[in-house]
């Protein structure tokens, strides 16, 4: 059951000229959130911009007793809404509707979880990693960015016990190149009797490559999509993606049937943009 | 507590606040967030006889205080609607207004006939005004003869309250209101979206895949208020006003201009839980002005001295 609250900005941590993390006081949303769900944020009061923006829930913020009291958003400045969120100030109130969408289903041991993140696509994996750690599932994070200062929060995953495989396009941290390079190599090296589930979020070409690699090596993959969304509630039909269903292909609303999809059902040629 | 009920033909809405078609899915999507039976009505997404896929994304573009859409009436068709959605709407206690689409008069009649045979459909809104499809729809809504013909044809096949939804993309909406009334409509609803366009100056391409789309949101409100006001002078049947309503003040402005009831569309995307506040706000205004019911405010525009 989603709720809509005027969430106070607790902090705005600038990570770079493009990236920031906004912490929101939103206990009712945080308590109900499942891994990979999202919220719709009104990035400024008033009529311009008119619509809310979807953001993956990044971290669940807990008090000393472990009680969820807020959540954070990993933001990359690309347009009007994300620029406003980059400039959010502590004490501002941002309307926050959520939690929304179909979550990731964390895989149980002995299967392994391989998370693949590109840039701001890291956002849904903090909550997933926590759920995986609680199950004792062995996990790896493949995390790629343009350069070292695009890679954040890797130590958090390490602390949860995840193995890290980092890549940068300029070679300033980890392996030089795209994150799908080491992923392809490691999938090829994985013993045939080892089950692994892939989870991906990032640019559409990256997610597609991950899905193709999963298929080639016989591992299921789940991707978190983020198309343009008007409402997040299934009302507007603007966020549709094409999927295979019994009887043919259909355009389905990614806000309520996603944002997480079994990638084997997606018609990738019909997908555009993303992040 | 004022009397918030609104008669629309043989139907009495419990209050004047209706969720607008195309902006509220099939209604059931919102039942997880609040009790949709509290609404005056739920106008579900437009239905053709058959399923319809709609346009390729991107389907929406934001504009100042508004948005352009070119969804293209994606929908499950009337047969799946009555099988899959209507039972749930009935169980939820919703006052269901079905938005009826067609490419021919025969299709409008067939969809209306099927809906009229099912319990739980409370009224039909005839969509003769969607700017996003090439065939049918607006070709009826932009011609007085076409409007008259489709409304009178559907009138013959249903006893449900019949509400043609009018387009603002004509010079004189009031004449279309009159044509609807003469053809036997129980009420009219207006306005649908304004045909509009946005262009990316760097690529010089339209921002929507279809080129043009329909503009909605607060940006269109003053024009919609004017059109409701003009139609109020032209017809006696109830008017369901819409176009950028987001606040209690906006809602009251439409009622004073001549609307008996209201639809809220785009604002629901931004504030999906705004409904009770609108209903309570209208009631509070009526109490404060010592008006017994909504009807006492309809069309009460005072002339400026």
- Give the tens place of pLDDT for each residue, B26-70: 999 999 999 999 999 999 999 999 999 999 999 999 999 999 999
Instruction: Please compute the mean of the pLDDT values over residues A161-166 and round it to a whole number.
Output: 97
Q: Cβ of A228 and B58 within 8 Å?
A: yes
Q: Do A151 and A87 reside in the same domain of the chain?
A: no
Residue A77 has pLDDT above 80, yes or no: yes
Instruction: Please compute the mean of the pLDDT values over residues B222-250 and round it to a whole number.
Output: 98
Interface test with A, best of B59, B130, B274 (most A CBs within 10 A): B59
Q: Is the peptide bond before A99 cis (omega within 30 degrees of 0)?
A: yes
Residues of B in contact with A272 (CB under 8 A): 57-58
Catalytic residue at B130? yes
Q: Cβ of A237 and B273 within 8 Å?
A: no
Q: Do A64 and A123 reside in the same domain of the chain?
A: no
From A66, A100, A134, the end of a domain falls on A100
Instruction: Please compute the mean of the pLDDT values over residues A207-236 and round it to a whole number.
Output: 96
The per-residue pLDDT for range A170-196, each reduced to its tens digit, is 999 999 999 999 999 999 999 989 999
Residue numbers of the domain that contains A152: 112-225
Q: What is the pLDDT of residue A272?
A: 65
Tell me whether residue A273 is in a domain.
no
Tell me whether residue B111 is in a domain.
yes
Q: What is the pLDDT of residue B192?
A: 97
CA distances from A239 to A74, A242, B226, B249 (A): 21, 10, 33, 31
Query: B291 versus A152: which is more confidently predicted?
Result: B291
Q: Do A78 and A152 reside in the same domain of the chain?
A: no
Q: What is the pLDDT of residue B135?
A: 65
Residue A87 has pLDDT above 60, yes or no: yes
CB-based contact B49:B77 (threshold 8 Å): yes
| CA B270-B272-B276 angle, 5° bins | 125
Query: B131 versus A204: which is more confidently predicted?
Result: A204
CB-based contact B87:B96 (threshold 8 Å): no
- What are A91's two structure tokens? 């004490």
Average pLDDT, chain B: 96
Q: Which residues of B141-178 are buried (b: 16+ CB within 10 A; e: fewer)?
A: bbbbebbbbbbbbbbebbebbbbbbbbbbbeebbebbb
Q: Cβ of A236 and B69 within 8 Å?
A: yes
Q: What is the pLDDT of residue A275?
A: 36
Q: What is the pLDDT of residue A247?
A: 83
Tell me whether residue B303 is in a domain.
no
Give the largest CA-CA distance in chain A.
Answer: 56
Tell me whether residue B302 is in a domain.
no
CA distances from B114 to A56, B82, B107, B160 (A): 42, 9, 11, 12
> At B127, which CATH number?
3.20.20.70
Q: Do A130 and A95 reside in the same domain of the chain?
A: no
**Residue B271's closest chain A neighbor by CA?**
A4
The distance of B56 to chain A (nearest Cα, Å) reads 8
CB-based contact A251:B74 (threshold 8 Å): yes
Tell me whether residue A121 is in a domain.
yes
Instruction: Please compute the mean of the pLDDT values over residues A91-115 and round it to a whole number.
Output: 97
Q: Do A137 and A164 reside in the same domain of the chain?
A: yes
Q: Do A61 and A158 reside in the same domain of the chain?
A: no
Instruction: State residue A161 phi and psi, 5-degree precision.
Output: 100, 5
Q: Do A76 and A149 reside in the same domain of the chain?
A: no
Residues of A in contact with B272 (CB under 8 A): 4, 97, 231, 233, 235
Q: What is the pLDDT of residue B134?
A: 66
Helix ranges (DSSP H) in chain B? 77-80, 86-92, 105-116, 138-141, 144-157, 173-182, 221-234, 248-257, 266-270, 275-288
Q: What is the pLDDT of residue B228?
A: 98
**Three-state SS for B61?**
strand
The one catalytic residue in B101, B130, B142, B231 is B130
Q: What is the pLDDT of residue A192?
A: 87
Q: How many CA atoms lie within 13 A of B97 on its CB side?
A: 31
CB-based contact B103:B135 (threshold 8 Å): yes
| Domain tally, chain A | 2
Tell me whether residue B180 is in a domain.
yes
Cβ count within 10 A of residue A79: 12
Q: Do A206 and A119 reside in the same domain of the chain?
A: yes
| Domain tally, chain B | 1
Q: What is the pLDDT of residue B136?
A: 67
- Which strand (E) or helix (H) includes residue A207? helix A204-217
Q: Which of A11, A106, A92 is nearest to A59 (CA)?
A: A11
Residues of B in contact with A4 (CB under 8 A): 271-273
Q: Which residue has the tokens 């899905």?
A: A211
The distance of B60 to chain A (nearest Cα, Å) reads 6
From A44, A65, A100, the end of a domain falls on A100
Residue numbers of the domain that contains B288: 6-295
Residue A273 has pLDDT above 60, yes or no: no
> At A165, which CATH number?
3.40.50.80
Tell me whether residue B304 is in a domain.
no
Query: B47 versus A245: which is more confidently predicted?
Result: B47
SS3 annotation, A159-177: HCCCEEEEEECCCCCCEEC
**Residue B19's closest chain A neighbor by CA?**
A235
Residue B139 has pLDDT above 90, yes or no: no
Instruction: Please compute the mean of the pLDDT values over residues B182-200 and round it to a whole number.
Output: 97
Instruction: Please compute the mean of the pLDDT values over residues A97-101 and round it to a whole number.
Output: 98
Residue B246 has pLDDT above 50, yes or no: yes
């Amino acid at each position: 059951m989603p709720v809509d609250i005027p969430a106070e900005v607790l902090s705005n941590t600038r990570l770079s000229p493009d990236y920031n993390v906004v912490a929101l006081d939103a206990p009712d949303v945080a308590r109900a959130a499942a891994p990979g769900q999202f919220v719709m944020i009104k990035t400024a009061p008033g009529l311009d911009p008119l619509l809310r923006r979807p953001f993956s829930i990044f971290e669940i913020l807990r008090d000393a007793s472990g009680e969820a009291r807020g959540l954070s958003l990993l933001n990359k400045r690309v347009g009007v809404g994300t620029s406003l969120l980059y400039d959010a100030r502590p004490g501002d109130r941002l309307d926050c509707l959520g939690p929304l969408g179909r979550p990731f289903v964390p895989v149980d041991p002995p299967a392994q979880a391989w998370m693949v993140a590109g840039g701001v696509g890291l956002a849904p994996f903090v909550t997933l990693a926590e759920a995986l750690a609680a199950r004792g599932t062995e996990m790896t994070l493949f995390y790629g960015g343009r350069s070292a200062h695009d890679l954040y929060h890797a130590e958090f995953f390490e602390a949860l016990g995840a193995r890290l495989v980092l890549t940068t396009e300029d070679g300033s941290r980890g392996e030089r190149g795209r994150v799908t390079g080491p992923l392809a190599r490691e999938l090829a090296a994985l013993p045939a009797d080892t089950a692994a589930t892939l989870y991906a979020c990032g640019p559409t070409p990256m997610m597609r490559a991950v899905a193709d690699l999963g298929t080639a090596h016989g591992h299921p993959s789940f991707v978190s999509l983020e198309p343009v969304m008007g409402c997040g509630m299934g009302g507007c039909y603007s966020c549709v993606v094409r999927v295979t269903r019994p009887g043919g292909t259909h355009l389905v609303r990614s806000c309520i049937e996603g944002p997480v999809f079994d990638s084997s059902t997606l018609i990738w040629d019909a997908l555009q943009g993303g992040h | 507590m004022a009397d918030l009920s609104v008669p629309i033909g043989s139907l009495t809405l419990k209050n004047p606040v209706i969720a607008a078609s195309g902006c509220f899915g099939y209604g059931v999507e919102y039942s997880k967030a609040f009790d949709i039976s509290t609404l005056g009505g739920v106008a579900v997404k437009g239905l053709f006889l058959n399923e319809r896929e709609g346009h390729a994304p991107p389907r929406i573009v934001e504009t100042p205080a508004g948005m352009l859409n070119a969804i293209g009436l994606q929908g499950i068709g009337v047969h799946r609607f009555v099988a899959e959605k209507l039972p749930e709407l009935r169980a939820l206690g919703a006052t269901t207004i079905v938005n009826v689409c067609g490419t021919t008069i025969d299709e409008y009649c067939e969809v209306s006939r099927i809906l009229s045979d099912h319990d739980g459909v409370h009224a039909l809104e005839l969509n003769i005004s969607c700017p996003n499809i090439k065939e049918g729809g607006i070709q009826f809504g932009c011609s007085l003869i076409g409007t008259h013909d489709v409304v009178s044809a559907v009138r013959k096949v249903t006893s449900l309250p019949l509400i043609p939804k009018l387009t603002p993309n004509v010079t004189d909406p009031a004449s279309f209101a009159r044509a609807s009334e003469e053809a036997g409509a129980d009420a009219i609803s207006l306005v649908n979206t304004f045909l509009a366009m946005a262009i990316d100056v760097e690529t010089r391409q339209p921002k929507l895949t279809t080129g043009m789309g329909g503009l909605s949101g607060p940006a269109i409100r003053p024009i919609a208020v004017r059109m409701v006001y003009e139609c109020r002078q032209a017809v006696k049947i109830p008017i369901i006003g819409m176009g950028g309503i987001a606040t209690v003040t906006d809602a009251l402005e439409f009622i004073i201009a001549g609307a008996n009831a209201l639809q809220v569309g785009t604002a629901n995307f931004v504030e999906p839980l705004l409904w009770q506040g609108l209903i309570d706000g209208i009631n509070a205004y009526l109490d404060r002005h010592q008006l017994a019911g909504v009807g006492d405010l309809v069309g009460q525009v005072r002339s400026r001295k």
